[in-house]
Structure 1
Amino acid sequence: MKQSIRLGLVFLLGLAIAVTLSLSPSQGATPQVSSAVGPNHGSLSAQVSEPTPDAPTGSDPSAGLEPTSLKSFEETVKGLTVSQGLFTVYHDLQRNRAFLGLNPTQLNQNLLFIATLESGVGEAGLFRGWPVNDFMVQFRQIPDNRLQVAIPNALFRNSQAEAQQLLRESFSDSVLTTLPIQAINGETGELLIDLKDWLITRDPANLANQFPWVLGSYALNADASYLGPVKAFPENVELETVLGFSGGSSGADPFALALSSIPDGRGFNLRVRYSLSAIPAHPAFQPRLADERVGYFISAYRAPTRPGSSDPFVRYIQRWQLEKQDPTAALSPPKTPLVFWIENTTPQEYRAAIRDGIEWWNAAFEQAGFTQAIEVREMPANADWDPADVRYNVIRWSDSLYPWASGLGPSRVNPLTGEILDADVVLDASVVRDLAMEYDTLADRGAIARGEMALCGHPLSDRLMTRLTAPAAGRAVSPQPDTLDYCASLRAAQTNAFGPLAIATLAPPFSTREAKAAYLEQYLRVLTAHEVGHVLGLRHNFLGSTLLSPADLNNPAITQAQGMTSSVMDYLPPNLAPIGQPQGDYFPTQLGPYDRWAIEYGYRSVTSRATAQRELQSIADRATDPTLAYATDEDAYTMVDPRANAWDMSNDPLGYAEGQLAIAKAIWDRLDWFSVNPGEGYGQLRQRVDLVFFYYGSQADTMANYIGGQRFTRTDPWSSRGQSPFEPVAAAEQRRALTTLSQQVFAPNALSLSPELVNRLAPDRWWHWGEDPFSDRLDYPIYDRIVSTQALTLSNLLEGDRLLRLRDSELKQPGPDSFTLAELFDTLSQTLWTEVLNPPAEATPISSLRQGLQRHHLNTLTSLVLRNHGSGEGVTDFLGFVAQEATFGAPEEARVLARYQLRQLQEAIARHLSRQGQRLDLATLAYLEDAGDRIVKVLDAPLRGQ
């Protein structure tokens, strides 16, 4: 049992990590080059400012080579169609033959290689329009008539020739593959390589490693693979393959992912688009240095240490090239606007909202000095170009069975300068179904039954995954930078689907249809704006939701005048008005002040190179304005600042979360058989109850982050005149959060559903592809739902890093009123064990729910005392694993307090049994005797190492 629990969680969280890495462009992880230019290799030349990379010329790539054992050029291309552009392509697709022709001048030159899925399977990350990989590449001729496909190293640069030579010899390039030259044109020197060999046999996009969770159980079937259409243009070549995969899970591999969206799991096709393009030379483009107070994606390299600075890194923000038509005008159109095309597959009824979401950003560019910087066009139904063509920036519409993101905003960047060259946004049609509640709120019903899905997207998930992988690796595992995205699509779908459920359940009669339509339209706008913000260069800002007070959020006069949030780059939940109060907008209807300010930093024209840094510094120095506060993924990951959080709202997230708990309870109270629409079954009612449990736990997580919390501000010491980056959360706020959790989560009757409702929660009983009636219990697991919600909140409060911060807070905010480790432990103990520590005069049964919560607390204290993390000893279920692992890293002071509490509980249980044991019911008596015996064994057990 212990091993199966660990395997199940490894699969769930490992899959989440793999998915996160594949989706990282929405988090800003534009792939960077990963090797260095070596002797006789290509040039790293580019237009960069201080310092400018040198441009080694290398030697003549054809010197000393004789075209021996080569095929005749004329015979090789005979009968083939010739497509001329950046490269010449010779092809006969009916015979599955194609050759890429490279002129000698194109060797050792920087090119951009981009791979995109043009078709998918609708699940497991294999989605139409999704990016696979992109990198800067060079073709290099080597002896024996071969070409290397290599990634030059732009991570280490020095403008001094001798120093650059040392770097080239110290840090290697990445050589992806070596291709035989098929033929050489004796007159022009043009070289031919076999595209079938490169694109099909060699997997240049590294598909197998980009999607290991699904392609790991399949093999490329060369017989089922073939070349697709070829298009050659002056600045790019578009190539396509249809790759056949065969195999599938045999059942022997516990980590193999079974596909539900294909009719037979033994094989499928993927259509992959490869774009090979020149990196454009924009002499007017000047790389712009990053400032950590303004959230841009970054292209960085290590340079020689500069005078007055100990930082060896140069960091450029990623941004588009925009130049004013009139450089002297305060407001001017750009010479070349950014054009975004809405793909012709997008449903007509959603195009207006998507257009609005894109055009919102023109307001930000006006603050930066540009008018109509962005144009939106609709792709014609009979367009003669493809959305994956790198010359077009397209808002693409995809569809999937089990989506992993509502939207994705990848961009392709010149790694030498940070210039964004091409970008697409992928929107998934599932967002419409999700918001209409036409979906399973928890896709993996089997995982629900095992309890694992309760952790998906939970703050503890990444830390537990670290604990699982660290012992196997024999070393500590660093947190993944995209941790916040673990199971992000599930969390986003559930959070945003809660709004339509609240509308359907709580809205006044006859207004539901109009309210849902407004909700969907507002969500599509803000989703589009969020993803377009990414392709403009912006990272997430998880302080974006903290602009207004809870009272102002539903006042349209305020939200539509100054914005609902300071940034649309947050993960925003629906704004739901408290019970009995008028509902305002559900989502922002415009950009916020941070969005406009960030675009100003990235795109405002500077007077000259000499004054650029001073002018940009003056923009960044406005960061002290609270409306411009910025916190991104790595800030939210730490769970230090309770405001820097996804899916929260208002400048008082604690107070807002309290109101949302009231809404969740009101929905529970009103759900009944008549909540099921005609034509639906009770399975839909069951899903809605699950959705409320998820939402309730999410609000509890927001509150838990106040315990041991600190406000963190990205600040510059000089411009802020010594402002401290940290400010501990007031003890009164921490106590308020803990009191609310005690009353609304841990109290005996905090989570209660009527028996009538629970007995109506039958699942759907369909049995066919995509539906498995055996994946979950037939009856509703109400005990597991309630105890999991309580237990995960408790483990969040007693998580190891949080306990470390609480210990340190006594030194950061000393005083008699400080909130301490001892107060947290004592308050939780008094709340959770009141039946034993303060028993009523009459013998009172301890319900099974209270026993379950107390048992989780007891397991957590045991873990703290014994330090038995990673052992698996005594773990019989999922929550037992969580209790054992969540406290890893806790300080010695927490272990001492846990031991003290176990001793107090042991004495209290013994006292309670001696006084009322004869009058207690059998279940309570057996439970208390078992708890007392376990505590004795724990206190007598030897202490393990950390």
Structure 2
Amino acid sequence: MKKALLTFTLSLILFTIAGHYGFSQSNLSPTIAEFVEGMEIKPGFFPLYWDDNTGKIWLEIPKTEEEILYYPSLASGLGSNDIGLDRGKLSGAHVVNFRKSGKKLLMAESNYDYRAITDNAMEQKAVEESFAESVLWGFEIAAQSTTHYLVDATEFALQDAVGASSAISRRNQGNYKIDPKRSAIYLPRTKSFPENTEIEATITLSGSGAGGYLRSVTPSSDAVTVRMHHSFVKLPDDQYTPRHFDPRAGVNAVSFYDFATPINEPIVKRYIRRHRLIKKNPGPDPSEVVEPIVYYIDPGTPEPIRSALMEGTQWWTEAFEAAGFINAFQVKLLPEDADPMDIRYNLVQWVHRSTRGWSYGGGITDPRTGEIIKGKVTLGSLRVRQDFLIAQGLIANYLETGEVEDEAMLDMALARMRQLAAHEVGHTLGLPHNYIASAHDRASVMDYPHPLVQMDGDGNLDLSDAYDVGIGEWDKVAIEMAYREFPEGNNELQEIDKLVKTYREKGLDFLSDQDARPAGSAHPSTHLWDNGSNAVDELNRVMEIRKHVLAEFSEKKIKMGQPMATIEEVFVPMYLFHRYQVDAASKLIAGVNYQYAVRGDGSSPPTTVNAKSQINALDALLATVAPKNLEVPAKVLELVPPRPYGYSANSRETFQGNTGLTFDPLAPPQVAAEMTFSFIFHPHRASRLVAQHAVNTALPGLMEIIDKTIQTVNGFSASSEYEEEISRTVQKALLGQLIDLYRSGQASAQARALAYQGIQKLNDSITSNGSTAQTAHQSYVHRIVANLDREQVEPAQKLPSSPVPDGSPIGSESYQWLQPICNFTTY
């Protein structure tokens, strides 16, 4: 009797629970409709249900294992260029599917790096099972209907999806992790549309040990609160036709292994990245398009910058028209009710940071085909202020009356913003950098341009042509190779080969990041932030402009009422006005001309820069470290007082000297000298000098370059004690660079051996002239060299170096161009 009563009671309890939660009596499994009763419904691609009572978001997923695209992003950022967690930052895109296993639904990412493009299902399966996939999440199934599952997506949404804590840790800014109690779904940006579903969450990272970068951008550094976004997107249909990659075409690519490839053909396949663009009238003739590419400008951008961004972005219309597409590219202002994270909007977004930094052109690409699904540009707002600052240093003449004439400076800054918008949008259209374009009459917005400053015979500076206007000739070529429709039946790679030969006949070419960014790179015409077809001639011209600007530099460079100490921020980019052209000219030393080549295309073979040009480059570079060119004008020294209260004395934008609060007159010469020598004696360049002389003794070798440098540096004349001290500073800078070369693991053994010999020669050449200063200098250098081979050198016996004030983006070098996950490149 008791046993029967217990059974009846248990059955009654289960019946009551099942009725309360909507479970069927037969299997205790609720339907989705029963489970979500009373919740707020957000219908769409993957329907969402919001339970306000529990703060949970529920996701309805189709039972089919059809693949979709998932990617996380950062809806609101940290505001620090150094940490890199910007508003709108996109993380990697994942092709995923959902697979049921019991009461669990696994979200698994397919491995499209390894495929078998074949109709043989078993061959495809062999590849799939040979390489790992990634299960990104496991959901518990709470309810189901005939065609769908319902899962709790709250915990999934509240994860650190963009790796913010790791980014903070990598920059030594503290140890942080998610605090669930201070994290929640952000409902205003949690939406579902016909082809995409968006979930956003407020994420709080708590921790300790906050570094200076983090403290500077958070109200309370123990709690870092941002918003993270999750996008589930319907993948494009199979009507897109991938285009095979040609390394000469100037277009980005996705690559993968195709194990169905015949063994006599390359196993790695590459498709270019581009938007889908379909003509109403297919074929090579001009035609309107079925659906244009539309880019939206962030309405949070202030005027007149907003108009400049729209104008610069619109330049690409001309390139698409040249490729045969009419009304194919459009620019609009993002509607007020649009979500910038929505996959449907190609976006140019305005982002604020605490310091100036890079802008980015990136987006989301279908990894299966290379089709660009969303283009996304991030523009840092402080960049335009740096451009204005450069113009200010060049031509500002603020009068005592308080009269302000900023028009020409504003014009230059806005011209730069137009060019920058076009550049970053170019990345989102599929184009990489083309750093040889500046040597071809500014042929591409995909280069990094230095402001082209003209000076007449009277010393008047003209900024009206500082930046080019409109799309370049190369940009039209690149868009044509990526998007042009070729006659039906023609081989695309053969058609691209014809276009390559045509652009080379016109004097154009394409060389990108790996050929320009490394300080020791070899091509004599491929640089960042340079101008002109001849890097040495341009360096000499830039040095003349710099000389004029420094001679005319006065308190009129800042407005009335500004602290006088802030004039240093204007002075720094003027003093270092030649920094990027020094980099460019150094590439003629052991330089090599070359092209991206494929067999049979008639490309020019690599040729070494002739000896005369190499020595001319060295002469121009050594002229930059002459004391007369390095001394800070006396009237500038009189202008710069110690920093006032409330203004940091350790700005990254100023010279860091050794004199405490006062401006150190020897810090700028040391920085400039170390900069020049670091380019001349870069380990890769030094090793090439050894190699080129071994192959052809008519070309200069490393020892010849070292000898000439020592002779030139020792032969500098000095007209004052200040210049004499600069000469000693230059000698120490040269010694420090030769020691760095000797110790470098990147240099060849013979380059290091010759560097050691150069150290001894420099050491022997420094003699005393009887002055106390020179005798101390000689003794100090001798002691450094004598202790060079000791295993542990005391700090006092090391040559101290001085940090270079921040430069790039023009004004810290960044190498984020090295295979970013979803950003195509940076600027």
Q: TM-score scaled to structure 2, two decimals?
A: 0.84
Give the match's secondary structure for 1:427.
Answer: strand
Indicate whether 1:347 and 2:302 are aligned: yes
CA contact (8 A) 1:343 1:378 kept: yes
Indicate whether 1:538 and 2:498 are aligned: no
Cα distance change, pair 772–128 in 1 and its aligned pair in 2 (3 A): closer
> What residue number does 1:893 align with?
750
Residue deviations 1:909-930, cap 9 Å, x none?
5xx55xx6xxx02222232234
Displacement of 1:152 after TM fit?
0.6
Distance 1:75 1:173 in 2: 35
Indicate whether 1:119 and 2:76 are aligned: yes
1:234-313 maps to which residues of 2 (within 5 A)?
234-249=194-209, 257-283=213-239, 285-304=240-259, 306=261, 310-313=265-268
Give the match's secondary structure for 2:296.
Answer: strand
Distance 2:607 2:320 in 1: 34
Task: From 675, 680, 689, give the equivalent of 1:797.
Answer: 680
Give the match's secondary structure for 1:786.
Answer: helix
> What residue number does 2:813 align with?
none
CA contact (8 A) 2:206 2:222 kept: yes
> What residue number does 1:386 align with?
339
Cα distance change, pair 901–312 in 1 and its aligned pair in 2 (3 A): same
CA contact (8 A) 2:103 2:140 kept: yes
Displacement of 1:532 after TM fit?
1.0
Greater helix share, structure number: 1
> What residue number does 1:455 align with?
none
Task: From 638, 641, 652, give the equivalent of 2:523.
Answer: 641
Distance 2:96 2:34 in 1: 27
> What residue number does 1:921 align with?
771
Cα distance change, pair 824–156 in 1 and its aligned pair in 2 (3 A): same
Cα distance change, pair 524–93 in 1 and its aligned pair in 2 (3 A): farther
> What residue number does 2:4 align with?
none
1:422-501 maps to which residues of 2 (within 5 A)?
422-437=374-389, 498-501=390-393
Amino acid at match of 2:430: G
Equivalenced residues, count: 751
Indicate whether 1:621 and 2:501 are aligned: yes
Displacement of 1:246 after TM fit?
2.1
Distance 1:197 1:384 in 2: 28
CA contact (8 A) 2:554 2:636 kept: yes
Distance 1:655 1:775 in 2: 28
Amino acid at match of 1:422: K
Residue deviations 1:274-295, cap 9 Å, x none?
2211002041x21000110122
> What residue number does 1:587 align with?
467
Residue deviations 1:371-407, cap 9 Å, x none?
1111122234xx32212111112222222222422x3
> What residue number does 1:680 align with?
562
Displacement of 1:221 after TM fit?
1.5
Displacement of 1:219 after TM fit?
2.1
Residue deviations 1:679-707, cap 9 Å, x none?
21112211112222332333322222221
Task: From 470, 476, 492, give the equivalent of 1:612.
Answer: 492
> What residue number does 2:360 align with?
408
Displacement of 1:336 after TM fit?
0.6
Cα distance change, pair 577–68 in 1 and its aligned pair in 2 (3 A): farther
> What residue number does 2:111 align with?
153
Cα distance change, pair 599–511 in 1 and its aligned pair in 2 (3 A): farther
> What residue number does 2:604 align with?
723
CA contact (8 A) 1:133 1:205 kept: yes
Amino acid at match of 1:184: Q
CA contact (8 A) 2:279 2:288 kept: yes
> What residue number does 1:421 align with?
373
Indicate whether 1:367 and 2:322 are aligned: yes
> What residue number does 2:733 align with?
856
Give the match's secondary structure for 2:349.
Answer: strand
Cα distance change, pair 310–834 in 1 and its aligned pair in 2 (3 A): farther
The worse-fitting range, judged by mean Cα deviation, of 767-776 and 791-800 is 767-776
CA contact (8 A) 2:70 2:93 kept: yes
Give the match's secondary structure for 1:263.
Answer: coil
CA contact (8 A) 1:249 1:258 kept: no
> What residue number does 1:831 align with?
712
CA contact (8 A) 2:115 2:128 kept: no
Displacement of 1:69 after TM fit?
8.4
Distance 1:940 1:221 in 2: 50
Indicate whether 1:748 and 2:708 are aligned: no
Give the match's secondary structure for 1:177.
Answer: strand
> What residue number does 1:171 align with?
131
Distance 1:330 1:75 in 2: 57
> What residue number does 1:463 align with?
none
1:643-722 maps to which residues of 2 (within 5 A)?
643-720=525-602
Ranges in structure 2 where 5+ consecutive residues have no aligned partner: 1-24, 793-827
Give the match's secondary structure for 1:659.
Answer: helix
CA contact (8 A) 1:127 1:398 kept: no
> What residue number does 2:50 align with?
91
The worse-fitting range, judged by mean Cα deviation, of 82-91 and 313-322 is 82-91
Task: From 810, 814, 830, give the equivalent of 2:693.
Answer: 810
Displacement of 1:142 after TM fit?
4.4
> What residue number does 1:15 align with?
none
Amino acid at match of 1:699: Q
> What residue number does 2:98 align with?
140
Cα distance change, pair 901–123 in 1 and its aligned pair in 2 (3 A): closer
Indicate whether 1:779 and 2:734 are aligned: no
CA contact (8 A) 1:654 1:737 kept: yes
Displacement of 1:114 after TM fit?
2.6
CA contact (8 A) 1:641 1:710 kept: yes
Cα RMSD for the two superposed structures: 3.3
> What residue number does 1:788 align with?
671
Residue deviations 1:583-620, cap 9 Å, x none?
34111111111100110011111223553333233223
Give the match's secondary structure for 1:271.
Answer: strand
Cα distance change, pair 329–617 in 1 and its aligned pair in 2 (3 A): closer
Displacement of 1:788 after TM fit?
1.9
Displacement of 1:781 after TM fit?
2.2
Distance 1:135 1:519 in 2: 37
Displacement of 1:763 after TM fit?
4.6
Amino acid at match of 2:668: R
Distance 1:906 1:221 in 2: 59
> What residue number does 2:477 align with?
597
Cα distance change, pair 906–154 in 1 and its aligned pair in 2 (3 A): closer
Displacement of 1:937 after TM fit?
5.3
Displacement of 1:939 after TM fit?
8.1
Displacement of 1:302 after TM fit?
0.8
Displacement of 1:659 after TM fit?
1.3
Distance 1:400 1:680 in 2: 23
CA contact (8 A) 2:452 2:467 kept: yes
Distance 2:628 2:183 in 1: 60
Ranges in structure 1 where 5+ consecutive residues have no aligned partner: 1-65, 438-497, 549-564, 870-886
Displacement of 1:648 after TM fit?
0.6
Distance 2:321 2:722 in 1: 67
Cα distance change, pair 624–67 in 1 and its aligned pair in 2 (3 A): farther
Amino acid at match of 1:375: Q
Amino acid at match of 1:922: T
CA contact (8 A) 2:396 2:558 kept: no
Distance 1:198 1:286 in 2: 34
CA contact (8 A) 1:77 1:90 kept: yes
CA contact (8 A) 1:101 1:191 kept: yes
Identical columns (%):
25
Cα distance change, pair 152–939 in 1 and its aligned pair in 2 (3 A): closer
